[in-house]
């Protein structure tokens, strides 16, 4: 193949991949937001359980 044919092939490949990335970007952003929400919720639960455990430990020792 000639250099020009290779150049057009790779340009088509770049265009295709760019379009695919644009398609999946909104879904990826939504998944990231959901993951962040889950991480925050789990962090809150861990803090609650830690505080509850510390409070129970203090009352048991007293």
Give the count of beta carbons closer than 10 Å to the beta carbon of residue 19.
9
Average pLDDT over every residue of 1-29: 96
Average pLDDT over every residue of 26-35: 98
Number of domains present in the structure of the chain: 1
Contacts of 9 (CB under 8 A, 6+ apart): 1
CA separation for the pair 52, 61 (Å, rounded): 14
Q: Which of 17, 16, 11, 14 has its CA nearest to residue 3?
A: 11
- Name the residue range of residue 14's domain: 1-62
3-state secondary structure of 2: coil
pTM above 0.75, yes or no: no
At 31-49, the pLDDT tens digits run: 999 999 999 999 999 999 9
């Amino acid at each position: 193949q000639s250099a020009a044919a290779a150049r057009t092939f790779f340009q088509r490949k770049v265009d295709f991949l760019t379009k695919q990335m644009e398609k999946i970007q909104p879904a990826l952003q939504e998944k990231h937001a959901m993951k962040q929400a889950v991480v925050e919720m789990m962090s809150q639960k861990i803090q609650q359980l830690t505080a509850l455990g510390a409070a129970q430990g203090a009352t048991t020792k007293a």
